[in-house]
C-alpha cells in the first residue's frame, strides 16, 4: 500500500475568474435597476359599497356633518374653499384657514374632535393634489372621519 507523505501535498490554486465575472455581472445588473423609491404614506378612507337600495343609508344622527366645497379655477387650481356657506378664499392660504377654523370650532380639550364628519365636495376639474392637500388640512385639525361626496350618488345639494 502506498501512502502519500505530507511533504507531497501541493497548494490547490482555485481559479477565481469565473466567480468574479458572475459577481460583477450581478453588480452591474443591480446598479442599473436600482431606484430609490419615495416613502409612501396612506390616507385611509371608508366609503360604503353601493348596492341596490343603498341610497337610503342609515345616518347616525349624533354625528355632525360638515360640508366643505373645493371649487376649481382655471387650470385646475384651488379657486375657493367653502366651509358650509362661509368662503375661505383660495390656494394654500385657504387650506391653512380651513384647518384653523375647523380646529377652533370643533376641537375639544386636547385637540380631540368627536362626532364630526367632514363631507368633501370637490370640483371634477380640480387637480388631485388639491384634494389631498385639503384632506391633509382637515386631518391636521384632528378630524379623521372624511367622506368624499359623489354628486352622481348623492345629488343633494348643487
Among 66, 67, 70, smallest CA distance to 123 is for: 70
**Does 135 interact with other proteins (rule: CB under 8 A)?**
yes
**Does 93 interact with other proteins (rule: CB under 8 A)?**
no
Task: Mark the segment that binds other proteins (CB under 8 A) among 42-50, 58-66, 83-91, 108-116.
Answer: 42-50
Total residues binding other proteins (CB under 8 A): 48
Among 126, 144, 127, smallest CA distance to 135 is for: 144
- Residue 66 or residue 135: which is nearer to other proteins going by CB? 135
Among 137, 49, 40, smallest CA distance to 96 is for: 137
User: What is the residue whose three cell numbers read 388640512?
Assistant: 137
Q: What is the CA radius of gyration of the chain?
A: 31
Task: Mark the segment that binds other proteins (CB under 8 A) among 59-67, 81-89, 102-110, 134-142.
Answer: 134-142
**Number of residues that make up the chain:** 158
Contacting other proteins (CB under 8 A), which of 80, 97, 140, 147? 140
- The rounded distance, in Å, linking the Cα atoms of 106 and 123 is 25
Fill in the per-residue mask, 45 to 84: x = in contact with other proteins (CB under 8 A), - = not in contact. xxxxxxx------------------------x--------
Please list the residues that pair with 116 across neighbouring strands. 64
Q: Which residues bind other proteins (CB under 8 A)?
A: 16, 19-20, 23-24, 26-27, 30-31, 33-35, 37-51, 76, 122-133, 135-136, 139-140, 148, 150, 152-153
Amino acid at each position: 500500500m502506498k501512502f502519500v507523505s505530507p511533504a507531497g501535498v501541493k497548494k490547490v490554486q482555485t481559479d477565481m475568474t469565473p466567480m468574479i465575472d458572475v459577481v460583477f455581472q450581478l453588480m452591474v445588473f443591480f446598479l442599473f435597476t436600482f431606484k430609490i423609491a419615495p416613502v409612501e404614506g396612506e390616507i385611509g378612507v371608508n366609503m360604503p359599497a353601493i348596492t341596490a337600495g343603498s341610497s337610503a343609508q342609515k345616518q347616525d344622527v349624533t354625528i355632525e356633518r360638515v360640508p366643505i366645497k373645493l371649487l376649481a379655477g382655471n387650470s385646475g387650481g384651488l379657486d375657493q374653499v367653502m366651509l358650509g356657506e362661509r368662503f375661505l378664499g383660495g390656494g394654500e392660504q385657504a387650506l391653512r384657514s380651513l384647518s384653523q377654523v375647523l380646529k377652533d370650532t370643533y376641537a375639544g380639550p386636547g385637540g380631540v374632535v368627536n362626532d364630526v364628519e367632514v363631507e368633501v365636495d370637490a370640483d371634477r376639474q380640480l387637480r388631485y393634489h388639491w384634494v389631498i392637500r385639503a384632506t391633509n388640512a382637515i386631518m391636521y385639525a384632528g378630524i379623521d372621519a372624511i367622506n368624499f361626496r359623489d354628486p352622481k350618488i348623492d345629488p343633494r345639494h348643487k
